[in-house]
Each structure stands twice: as C-alpha cells, then as structure tokens.
Amino acid sequence: MRPMAEPGKQPREAWGSKLGVILAVAGSAIGLGNFLRFPVQAAQNGGGAFMIPYFISFLLLGLPLMWVEWTIGRFGGGFERSTAPGIFETVWQKNRFIKYFGVIGIFGPTVIYTYYVYIESWLLGYSVFALTGKYASCTDQASMSGFLQGYQGLVQNEHFSGVSTAYLFFLITFAVNIAILCVGLRAGIERVCKLGLLVLFVFGVVILIRVLTLGTPDPAKPEWNVNNGLGFLWNPQWGKLKEAKVWLAAAGQIFFTLSVGFGVILTYASYLRKRDDVALSGLTASTANEVAEVILGGSIVIPAAFVFFGPQGTAEIANGGAFNLGFVTMPLVLQHVAFGQFFAFAWFFLLFIAGVTSSISLALPAIVFLQDEFNLDRKTAGILFAVVTFNLCQVVIFFNGHGALDEMDFWGGTFCVVVFAMIEVILFAWVFGMDKAWSELHSGSDIRIPKIYRFIIKYVTPTFLLLILGFWIVQEGWPTLLMKKTPMEKVPFVIGTRVLLIDLFVLLAFLVWLAWRKRQTRGAVQ
Amino acid sequence: MTSAGWIFLVVSWGAILGLGVFCLSRTFRRKA
C-alpha cells in the first residue's frame, strides 16, 4: 500500500513523455567521455580487440546496473522518495542505517558537479574562441597547449593574463545550469535534453561526415589517410586481450559512460508511474549512449588526428590523454579543413551540450533531496544548492593545478561510484530478493528480459564489481589515499580538499538525520 | 585498415544500430 501525499506538501513533478525520460537519462550518460575518453581507451588497449571486453562489460555490468537503477528508482518514487537515502529505505525497510549509505548517492554527484561544470565552461569558452578566431595564431601542439594553460590560469602568456576569461564563462555556465534546474523537471530538464540531444546528434553526424571525407590531405604522405586512421583505432591487437588491465579499462569505460552508480538515474526514474516501462527505457537510453560513443566518438577524433599527425603523432596524442585530444589536437586539426571555424564551433558546442545534459543530472539528486525531505519549492532548493556548490567550485578554479580537481574526481567520480553501484546491486538482488526484483523490473514492461539476467544480476554483476573494486584499490586507491604519487608541494592542497569533502559528507549525513527526525515527528503528530 | 579491423567496425556498428532500431520500434509501437 503506497502512502497518500502529505498535507501541505509540494505537488509531485512528473515526466511529460516516455521519450522525455529516455532522452534525459541518455543525456545524463552522454558526456565528454563518449567523445574523448572512449577513443583514447580503445586506441591504448587493443584497438578493435578492445571491443570484446567492452561489449562483454556492457552486457554483464552496464545493462544490469542500468535496469537495477531504473527499477529501484521507480519503486522508491511510488513512496514519494526520489533520492538514494529514501529509496534505499523503501527497499530495506528494516534497516535503520541504510539511509546513510544512500548519502553517497547525493554526495558523489554533487562533488562531480563542482568540477564538471567548470570543465563544461571551458567548452563554452572554446566555442566562442572558435568563432572569433582567438586561438588561430596557435599552429602547433606546443602553442595550443600554452593557450589552454593560459586560459586555465596556470600560466600567463600573450593570450591570457589570468583566470578572468575562464571565470566569466564559468559564471555563465553555472547560471545556465541553475536556471534549467530551477525551471523544473518537465519544462527545464526534459525540454533541454530533447532539444540538446537533437543538436548534439546533428552536429555529431556533420562532423563525422566531414572527418570521413577528409581523404588524404597531404599527397606527399599517402598513408596518412582516413582509412588508416580508422585502422589505428579498429585494427585488433590480439595480444592485448591477455592483459588484465585491458579488461579493467573496458569495464571502467562501460561503468562511467552509462552514468550508473551515480544516483542520478534513481532520481530520474523516481518520477515514473508504477505502470511505466523501465526495461525497454533502460535499454534504449543505454543504446543511445553507445551510438554516441562507439559510432560518433570512435570515428571522429582519432581518424582526424591520424590524417594530419600520422601514426607516431597520433600515438603520442592518445597517450597525452583525453583533454589533450579535445582541447589541443581537435582545434589544430580543424584549422586545416575548409570552414574550419564552423566545424570547430560545432565540435566544442556539441561537447558543451553533452556537458550540460550531464551536469544538470548531477545536480538534481541534491536539489530533489532538499525538496522532498524539507518540503522546499524547486527554486529555493536550487538556490541553496547553487550557494553551496558555487563556493566549492572556487576551490576547483583557483586550486586547479594543485591537485584539488584530481582529488575530487578520485573520491566523487571513481570511489563513490563503484561502492554505490555495489550497494545498489546487493540491495536489489539480495535484500529486495530476486523474485520480487524481477517482478518489479517487468511491471509495465514493453519487453521481456532474458531469464539469464536473473543469474547475471544476482551473481555475475556483484562479482564483476568486487573484482573491479579490488583491483582498483590495490592499483590506485591505496597509493592515492596515502598520497604516494602526490608531489610534496601539492600535499597541503590535497589534504585541504579531503577535509572539505569530509565536511560535505558529514553535512549531508546530518541533513538525512534531521529529515528523518522531522518525518518521525510528523508521523507521531498525525 | 585490415580486414579484421573492418570486421570489428562493421559488427560493432551493426550491433549498436540494430539494437537502436529494435528499441525505437518497440518504444513507438506502444505509443501508437
């Protein structure tokens, strides 16, 4: 029996259409990683052969977690709970402490939001620079890297004397995000994701066609062509499949690209009705993400870099990382093509839109938590969230280059995500129980999921997650926790960032405690 | 690009686009 809405409580929001919620989840999943991280991972980890562990991870890890989040999100929404603390409690009602594990589902996305929105603002800045030709004088990797460092305020050069330009674009981006969030679910997030994904795919296809028709730009180097550029990414290196790190890289890529383990999908799905489908919607959102990642992301940057920089140069660029590829290599490549300013604008604006549709989803759990548990209206909750995260963003902006951003990414964007996914899948398969969970997953469903997934969700996905967590703790977690790779000059900044993150977690846990106390008091009075 | 590379590309694109067509057809079938 589901409870009636409490008297005096704000009316609950709802999605306008089934397609709307699918596009919102797809928008959350499609981000910078699809276009920048995936090609780098594939190129470094076996090329075409990388797709074998990648698709296996998609089937055994990505899809099951996607269905778990959609299902328990909709289930919790039936009890008018839209964030992890409340949703977890509806799944495990007898446990008094499970709500505090749910704090991770608000803490993680809030931390990621604080640095993601800053990186997103760089893309807006570069979209404008592409049209105005501000970086046109940078014609090689070194000068374009200098331009980026100047923009970030890491060095002073002929392009930038400080961080003020970056700060201006940050203010605009931050305001755009908060405005969308304050407008509401249907008029804000749903409308932006519908329009945004349309523009993103149109721009993506236009750039893809342009790259695939580059041919052989330099006749003196006939082997530097698009065909070989695609080969650089897709030719299988079978020997790589024997390396454990390649399988881990593929699992990690699937994990992060689908936005599972963040707590975001829980909140989106909580606004569904009991008879709304989740099985097909989860599959459709995942597929849309794969189209953006494998088809667009896998065919743009690496082939484009290859035809202008050759195999040696592309290998060095790929080893330089995703940011290098997006902010240094792509603008250089697009300077060489006809209508390069337009294509460069399309490239950066595409990434900016991908960023906006992701960052609004990251902000939502904290805002909805304030709305749901403290009965605030959307605007008040949005403004409170803006005040807290605006202050946190200052740490990222002014301590960039001192390790603050990396530290936030490590705890919020890696550790919390894997741990949270583990909690979710255990709650779903072992606490809720697989019979009940399977029935809930198929309630109102438009498709039947193969029964093998009962076994996969109960045994394979948790084991897979344990393996990832174990390897990750040994390889990355422990050395990072002990700051073994941190240069001495960055240690005070890293410790300061950790103190700040602990403060935020404690604050959120206190708010959960306070909200539950208020709820109990209200229950006793009624 | 080698023939093995082409096979990986075509199979990957085919699988994803095929899944996309299946999902969209099911999504809109119910709506109609």
* pLDDT higher than 80, residue A464: yes
**CB neighbour burial string for A295-319, b if at least 16 within 10 angstroms, e if fewer:** bbbbbbbbbbbbbbbbeeebbebbe
C-alpha distances in angstroms, A466 versus A38, A61, A248, A426? Answer: 23, 11, 12, 11
pLDDT of residue A526: 62
C-alpha distances in angstroms, B32 versus A130, A191, A276, B27, B29? Answer: 43, 22, 15, 9, 5
Q: What is the pLDDT of residues A253-279, one digit of tens each?
A: 898 899 899 999 999 999 999 889 999
* Residue A312 CA to its chain's centroid (Å): 31
Q: Name the residue with higher pLDDT: A296 or A403.
A: A296
**A310 interfaces chain B, CB cutoff of 8 Å:** no
8 Å CB contact between A428 and A71: yes
* Span A234-245, average pLDDT: 88
C-alpha distances in angstroms, A354 versus A88, A195, A214, A284, A498? Answer: 29, 11, 25, 18, 29
Report the mean per-residue pLDDT for chain A. Answer: 91
Task: DSSP letter for A16, please.
Answer: S
The amino acid at A461: T
The alpha-carbon gap from A394 to the nearest alpha carbon of chain B, in Å, equals 41
pLDDT of residue A405: 85
- Locate the chain B residue with the closest alpha carbon to A46: B5
Q: What is the pLDDT of residues A278-317, one digit of tens each?
A: 999 999 999 999 999 999 998 999 899 999 999 988 888 8
The amino acid at A512: V
What residue spans of A375-490 are helical by DSSP H? 378-398, 404-410, 416-426, 434-442, 452-455, 461-472, 478-481
Residue A285: helix, strand or coil by DSSP? helix
pLDDT of residue A2: 46
Pair of tokens at residue A15: 């999605």
**Contact at CB, A291 and B9, closer than 8 angstroms:** no
Q: What is the pLDDT of residues B1-31, one digit of tens each?
A: 899 999 999 999 999 999 999 999 998 875 4
Q: Which residues contact A282 (CB under 8 A, 6 or more apart)?
A: A25, A63, A66, A67, A69, A70
Sheet strands (E) in A111-243: none
Q: Show the 3-state SS of A458-512.
A: HHHHHHHHHHHHHHHHHHHHHHHHCCCCCCHHHHHHHHHHHHHHHHHHHHHHHHH
**Contact at CB, A287 and B23, closer than 8 angstroms:** yes
**Conformational region of residue A15, where left means phi above 0, alpha means psi within -120 to 50, and beta covers everything else:** beta
Phi, psi (5° rounding) for residue A357?
Answer: -65, -25
C-alpha distances in angstroms, A229 versus A36, A156, A192, A211? Answer: 16, 36, 34, 10
pLDDT of residue A6: 56
Pair of tokens at residue A503: 């403060």
* Residue A477 CA to its chain's centroid (Å): 20
pLDDT of residue A382: 96
**Contact at CB, A235 and B9, closer than 8 angstroms:** no
The alpha-carbon gap from A283 to the nearest alpha carbon of chain B, in Å, equals 7
Taking the CB of residue A383, how many other CB atoms lie within 10 A of it? Answer: 15
Measured CA to CA, the distance from residue A364 to residue A73 in angstroms comes to 14
- Position A8 confidence tier, pLDDT thresholds 50, 70, 90: low
8 Å CB contact between A446 and A277: yes
8 Å CB contact between A397 and A163: yes
Determine the residue among A234, A447, A449 to mutate to test chain B binding: the one whose Cβ has the most chain B Cβ atoms within 10 Å: A234
Q: What is the pLDDT of residues A475-521, one digit of tens each?
A: 888 888 888 888 888 899 999 999 999 999 999 999 999 999 998 88
**Contact at CB, A230 and B1, closer than 8 angstroms:** yes
Which residues from chain A sit within 8 angstroms of residue B16, using beta carbons?
Answer: 287, 290-291, 294-295
Q: What is the pLDDT of residues A77-133, one digit of tens each?
A: 999 999 999 999 999 998 999 999 999 999 999 999 999 999 999 999 999 999 999
Measured CA to CA, the distance from residue A207 to residue A193 in angstroms comes to 20
8 Å CB contact between A91 and A75: yes
* Span A119-148, average pLDDT: 94
| ipTM (interface pTM) | 0.93
pLDDT of residue B32: 46
C-alpha distances in angstroms, A92 versus A419, A423, A428, A431? Answer: 18, 12, 9, 7
8 Å CB contact between A232 and A314: yes
* Span A145-167, average pLDDT: 93
